[in-house]
Amino acid sequence: MFKTAPMITMETDYVETGKRMVINGLGVAFVPAFCLEPSDPVHIIELDQMAKEEYIMESWMNYRESTVELSVVREFIQFMKDRI
């Protein structure tokens, strides 16, 4: 999908900060759909739409064990584990 590897110069552990960076043209982000508003001026690619394409992106997943109690966090972690 991307023709060149990303040059990572900044990382954030807050979804809203990452979303605002993307809105301001400062990169790409993986965020849960519930964090996006219909009025957000972003281009969305749902992972299910990419199922027929191979995509490789080096990434880290950091989370607090206590957040696994949240179903959306637990499901996202499982989603990623199933595909790695």
pLDDT tens digits, residue range 54-77? 666 677 788 888 989 999 889 989
Residue 2 has what pLDDT?
Answer: 64
Burial class (CB within 10 angstroms; exposed 0-12, middle 13-18, buried 19+) of 73: middle
pTM as predicted: 0.46
In Å, what is the CA distance from 36 to each residue of 22, 30, 57?
12, 11, 22
With a pLDDT cut of 70, the percent of the chain lying above it is 83
Please provide the average confidence, as pLDDT, over all residues in the chain.
80
